[in-house]
């Protein structure tokens, strides 16, 4: 980790300066933030500019990698059919061999579609996205699409734009609520610049990324979306992403056909989501290194592309052909199934790319196919196949993303034809409603659910899944041999005050647990018991066991079902090895502490973010909030033993523990007196300026 990224870098110098002598940069930022609305507008404009130029650069990067992989034969992903058959089969493999290591070793969160990762960052990490993610994502997607990967560029540009918004927000040391808004601004800018659709970009960010709307928040998002669209139109031109046919509705009863089209899109979208889930699970079970699996997915894709080369790449050319009725019904039917397989091979194996373009592709094929069938059944009485393809594109997006409003606006902005609104609304709402009954979550939530993250439920549930049994302090207990007499156990209970006794055999393997509370039901004569009853007779050997890697949520569930006061925690790979004894009180305390910590983090989010960027915050009255990397003399000691309040007149209010690896998120904890400080911990301290300077010099 570089000095710039190390939150503990130059800690003494950073805090030895009084807060009133902050750097010029911080003074400028502080002044700007006082005019909150103007500040939000200014940053939103910057994000819009950055998002617009990022979208343009991203397109150029994809075209460049496509030209490289095609040997100059084509500059678009849709020209892959012109390549030799052997290169069509091997090209995705080569791309997978590049994308796999690039993502796995540099930024694992840069894999996949990009949108679920942004949703997770907004909901669980306060909008924090690592700086390197945007660059790694752009490179990985460019290689993936350039080598024929079946995916889209929309989700990735959302990720890149969101990373830009997060970077600017942290640069300006904004509060968490603003940081999340700036992430939404970046996402909106990416969608708007890609589709030349500013309204759709803003609605997508509000509906999918943030999940909520607010006046100041949505205003900033709209500004970023509009600015990005202006940039895109200036450099690329003011025209839609597709060649859009003239939309027409011949008769009112066609609205019923559009409703059926929406229901059909829900069925196809549900199958797409399920196929993606099954493919991810299947690739996880394959005994290959994670970085090698995209190459295997590329091989499957390449073999499929020998029969259907149209499934390679983004597929915009094939979408245009379907809307212009230039594709036979047999080919559209084949591409409907082939594109699903091609996309799940690409993304399910760990490739990097979006899901938006494949959804549009599937919608175009489904709608085009429906148009051919309806024209055959009702010649001259229904609209063109291109009209049904357009509406089905929106319906498929609504089915897979569960964002019908954004889907409606995207297609409307592509056509600029008000006539399409009513059929589009009917199809998209039908697709979203029925899709929710078939699969109760979107394709974005599907990936998060497979990671154990449910953004639809209360945030407390997600917090409980991030705390593990290994993090909960064990209960005091005594270890006794299986042949230990009852009288000796009672004596130990009186002397040591233990309530729990772990029974082990001669090899010191765990065999059962004795809980003192259970002994009160023993009404035998003690003298008689002394000669007959031993620990093995009293031990509960069939108690459900917990493991260190179990979540706090699971531990609460096991305690509730077993109705026990204490349970053993055993090693995962050795059921005879006891790690600790966990009692119900400790689990409840951990639960309460997790909820309190969450509330504390939310209520003090502004101060924490500011302190992490500015190193110290003036609280007034001669007191400050300061972050400090744990001095060596604090390491491996409990806060109760350090007694910082008495010795230095400071209080630890929060501890940030660095992640074990680059892919993980740093943990924040409101510590109790028994919290043990580890090397590299970042302590958030409150105290007078003088006392903080003394601690910083330790």
d(C-alpha 163, C-alpha 167), whole Å: 6
Tokens of 184: 């939404």
Judgement on whether residues 448 and 510 belong to the same structural domain of the protein: no
Which uninterrupted H or E stretch holds 159? helix 154-171
Considering the domain architecture, whether residues 286 and 412 belong to the same structural domain is answered as: yes
**Do 358 and 271 contact (CB within 8 A), yes or no?**
no
Strand-pairing partners, residue 580, are 569
Q: Average the pLDDT over 118-136 and give the result.
A: 77
Residue 499 lies in a domain: yes
pLDDT tens, 671-687? 777 788 888 888 878 78
Residue 477: phi, psi to the nearest 5? -155, 160
pLDDT greater than 50 at residue 13: no
Token pair 């009853």 is found at 533
Q: What are the CA-CA distances from residue 496 to residues 493, 515, 518 (Å)?
A: 6, 14, 18
What's the mean pLDDT in 406-425?
84
Q: List the single range of 225-229, 243-247, 617-621, 693-697 with lowest mean pLDDT.
A: 617-621
Q: Per-residue pLDDT averaged across 542-556, rounded?
A: 82
pLDDT beyond 50 at 18? no
Task: Give percent of the chain above pLDDT 70.
Answer: 79
Higher pLDDT, 531 or 536: 536
**Gap between the Cα atoms of 458 and 453, Å rounded:** 11
The answer to whether residue 1 scores a pLDDT higher than 60 is: no
Question: Are 130 and 259 contained in the same domain?
Answer: yes
| One domain, residues 445 and 473 | no
Place of tokens 């509960």: 540
Q: Please report, for residues 32, 183, 493, 535, 658, the alpha-carbon distance to residue 490 in angstroms, rounded to integers and kept in the order given.
A: 69, 61, 5, 11, 45
Each residue's pLDDT tens digit, 454-508: 665 545 555 666 678 887 878 777 788 877 777 777 777 777 666 778 888 888 8
Residues 493 and 452 in one domain: no
Per-residue pLDDT at 358: 92
Q: Tell me: the pLDDT tens digits for 280-323?
A: 999 989 999 989 999 999 999 999 999 999 999 888 888 888 88
131 with 153, same domain? yes
In-domain check, residue 115: yes
Render 5-72 in DSSP notation, one character per residue: T-TTTTHHHHHHS-GGG--HHHHHHHHHHHSHHHHHHHHHHHHHHHHHHHHHHHHHHHHHHHHHHTTT
DSSP secondary structure code for residue 328 in this structure: -
In a domain, residue 22? The reply is: no
**What does the DSSP 8-state code read for residue 287?**
S
Tokens (6 digits) for 370: 């429906």
What was the pLDDT predicted at 642? 83
Instruction: Identify the CATH number of the domain in which residue 539 sits.
Output: 3.10.580.10
pLDDT of residue 7: 38
CA distance 309 to 326: 16
Residue 44 has pLDDT above 60, yes or no: yes
Asked whether residue 46 is assigned to any structural domain, the reply reads yes
| Dist. CA 562–CA 567, nearest whole Å | 9
**CA-to-CA distance for 355 and 191, rounded, in angstroms?**
13
Residues 444 and 496 in one domain: no
72/370 Cα distance (integer angstroms): 37
In this prediction, residues 581-603 reach a mean pLDDT of 67
> Is the predicted pLDDT of residue 612 greater than 50, yes or no?
no
Residue with more model confidence, 442 or 624? 442
pLDDT given at position 302: 93
Phi, psi of 685 (to 5 degrees): -110, 150
Do residues 423 and 520 share a domain?
Answer: no
Q: Note down the domain range covering 163.
A: 35-456
| Residue 403: exposure state from Cβ atoms within 10 A (0-12, 13-18, ≥19) | buried
> What is the four-CA torsion angle of 480, 485, 487, 493, rounded to 10 degrees?
10
Written as six digits, the tokens of 655 are: 């501890």
Confidence of residue 171 (pLDDT cuts 50, 70, 90): confident
Indicate the residue among 589, 622, 642 that finishes a domain.
589
DSSP-derived letter for residue 79 is G
Instruction: Pick the range with the lowest mean pLDDT from 12-26, 247-261, 497-511, 559-573.
Output: 12-26
Residue 262 confidence (pLDDT)? 94
Mean per-residue pLDDT, 232-243:
74
Number of structural domains (the chain) is: 3
* 148 and 243 fall within a common domain: yes
**pLDDT band at 8, cuts 50/70/90?**
very low
**529, burial (CB in 10 Å: exposed 0-12, middle 13-18, buried 19+):** middle
Domain end: 406, 423, 456, which one? 456
Q: Are 472 and 303 in contact (CB under 8 A)?
A: no
Contacts (Cβ under 8 Å, ≥6 apart) of 613: 170, 173
DSSP, collapsed to helix, strand or coil, labels residue 84 as coil
CATH number for 229: 1.10.3080.10
In this prediction, residues 227-249 reach a mean pLDDT of: 78
Q: Does the pLDDT at position 531 exceed 80?
A: no
| Measured distance CA(93)–CA(149) in Å, rounded | 9
User: For residue 5, what pLDDT is reported?
Assistant: 38
Worst-scoring range by mean pLDDT, 138-142, 161-165, 601-605, 632-636? Answer: 601-605
Domain containing residue 665: CATH number: 3.30.70.1450
Residue from 640, 636, 624, 641 nearest 694 by CA: 624
Contacts of 260 (CB under 8 A, 6+ apart): none
19 in a structural domain? no
Structure token pair of residue 156: 């990735």
pLDDT of residue 614: 41
Q: For residue 498, tell me if it sits in a domain.
A: yes
685: in domain: yes
- In whole angstroms, give the CA distance from residue 306 to residue 294: 18
Q: Is the dihedral of CA 291, 294, 300, 303 positive or negative?
A: negative
- CA dihedral over 633, 634, 640, 645, signed as positive or negative: positive
Average pLDDT over residues 507-516: 80
DSSP string, 229-290: HHHHHHHH-S--SS-PPPP----TTHHHHHHHHHHHHHHHHHHHHHHHHHHHHHHHHSSS-G
Residue 626: φ, ψ to 5°: -140, 145
Name the domain boundary from 406, 429, 456: 456
551 and 447 inside one domain: no
DSSP 400-469: HH--HHHHHHHHHHHH--GGGHHHHHHHHHHHHHHHHHHSSS-HHHHHHHHTT--TTS-HHHHHHHTSBG
Do residues 479 and 422 share a domain? no
> Tokens at residue 508, please?
């010191």
The β-bridge partners of 628 are: 683
Mean residue pLDDT across the chain: 79
What does the pLDDT read at residue 658? 65
What percentage of the chain carries pLDDT values higher than 90? 19
Question: Tell me, what DSSP letter sits at residue 207?
Answer: I
> What does the CA dihedral 681, 686, 690, 696 come to, rounded to 10 degrees?
0
With tokens 């690896």, the residue in question is 661
Q: How many CA atoms lie within 13 A of 685 on its CB side?
A: 29
Q: State how far the Cα of 53 lies from the Cα of 268, in Å rounded to an integer.
A: 35
146 inside domain: yes
Q: Is the pLDDT of residue 569 over 80?
A: yes
- The DSSP symbol for 638 reads B
pLDDT score of 635 more than 70: yes
513 plus 554 within the same structural domain: yes
């Amino acid at each position: 980790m570089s000095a710039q990224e190390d939150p503990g870098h130059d800690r003494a110098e950073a805090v030895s300066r009084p807060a009133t002598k902050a750097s010029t940069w911080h003074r400028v930022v502080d002044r700007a933030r006082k005019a909150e609305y103007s500040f939000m507008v200014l940053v939103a404009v910057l994000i819009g500019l950055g998002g617009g130029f990022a979208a343009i650069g991203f397109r150029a990067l994809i075209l460049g990698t496509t030209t490289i992989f095609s040997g100059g034969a084509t500059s678009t992903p849709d020209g892959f059919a012109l390549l030799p058959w052997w290169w069509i089969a091997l090209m995705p493999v080569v791309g997978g061999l590049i994308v796999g290591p690039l993502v796995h070793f540099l930024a694992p969160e840069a894999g996949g579609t990009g949108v679920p990762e942004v949703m997770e960052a907004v909901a669980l990490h306060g909008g924090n996205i690592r700086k390197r993610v945007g660059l790694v994502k752009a490179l990985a997607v460019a290689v993936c699409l350039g080598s024929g990967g079946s995916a889209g560029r929309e989700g990735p540009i959302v990720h890149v734009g969101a990373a830009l918004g997060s970077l600017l927000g942290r640069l300006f040391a904004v509060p968490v609520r603003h940081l999340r808004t700036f992430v939404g601004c970046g996402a909106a800018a990416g969608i708007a610049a890609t589709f030349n659709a500013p309204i759709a970009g803003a609605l997508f960010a509000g509906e999918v990324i943030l999940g909520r709307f607010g006046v100041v928040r949505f205003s900033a998002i709209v500004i970023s979306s509009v600015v990005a669209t202006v940039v895109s139109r200036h450099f690329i031109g003011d025209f839609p992403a597709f060649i859009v046919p003239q939309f027409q509705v011949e008769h009112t009863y066609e609205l019923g056909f559009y409703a059926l089209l929406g229901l059909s899109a829900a069925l196809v979208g549900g199958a797409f989501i399920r196929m993606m889930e099954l493919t991810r699970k299947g690739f996880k079970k394959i005994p290959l290194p994670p970085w090698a699996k995209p190459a295997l997915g590329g091989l499957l894709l390449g073999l499929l592309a020998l029969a259907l080369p149209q499934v390679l790449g983004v597929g915009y050319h094939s979408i245009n052909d379907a809307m212009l009725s230039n594709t036979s019904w047999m080919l559209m039917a084949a591409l409907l199934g082939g594109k699903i397989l091609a996309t799940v091979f690409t993304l399910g194996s760990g490739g990097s790319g979006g899901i938006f373009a494949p959804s549009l592709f599937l919608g175009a094929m489904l709608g085009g196919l429906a148009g051919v069938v309806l024209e055959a059944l009702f010649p001259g009485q229904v609209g063109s196949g291109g009209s049904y393809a357009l509406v089905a594109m929106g319906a498929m997006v609504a089915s897979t993303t569960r964002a019908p409003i954004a889907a409606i606006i995207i297609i409307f902005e592509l056509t600029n034809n008000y006539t399409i609104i009513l059929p589009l609304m009917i199809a998209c709402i039908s697709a979203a409603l029925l899709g929710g009954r078939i699969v109760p979550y979107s394709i974005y939530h599907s990936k998060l659910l497979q990671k154990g993250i449910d953004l639809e439920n209360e945030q407390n549930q997600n917090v409980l899944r991030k705390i593990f049994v290994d993090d909960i302090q064990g209960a005091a207990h005594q270890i006794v041999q299986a042949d230990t007499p009852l009288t000796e156990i009672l004596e130990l209970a009186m002397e040591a005050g233990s309530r729990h006794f772990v029974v082990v055999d001669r090899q010191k393997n765990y065999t059962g647990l004795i809980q003192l509370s259970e002994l009160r039901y023993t009404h035998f004569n003690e003298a008689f018991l002394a000669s007959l009853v031993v620990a093995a007779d009293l031990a509960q050997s069939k108690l459900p066991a917990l493991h260190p890697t179990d979540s706090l949520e699971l531990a609460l569930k096991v305690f509730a079902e077993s109705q026990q006061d204490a349970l053993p925690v055993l090693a995962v790979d050795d059921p005879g090895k006891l790690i600790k004894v966990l009692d119900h009180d400790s689990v409840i305390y951990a639960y309460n502490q997790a909820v309190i910590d969450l509330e504390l983090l939310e209520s003090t989010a502004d101060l924490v973010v500011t302190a992490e960027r500015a190193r110290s915050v003036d609280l007034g009255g001669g007191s400050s909030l300061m972050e400090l990397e744990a001095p060596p003399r604090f390491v491996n000691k409990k806060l109760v033993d350090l007694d910082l309040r008495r010795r230095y007149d400071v209080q630890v209010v929060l501890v940030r523990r660095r992640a074990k690896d680059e892919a993980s998120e740093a943990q924040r904890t409101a510590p109790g007196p028994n919290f043990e400080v580890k090397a590299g911990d970042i302590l958030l301290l409150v105290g007078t300026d003088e006392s903080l300077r003394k601690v910083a010099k330790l």
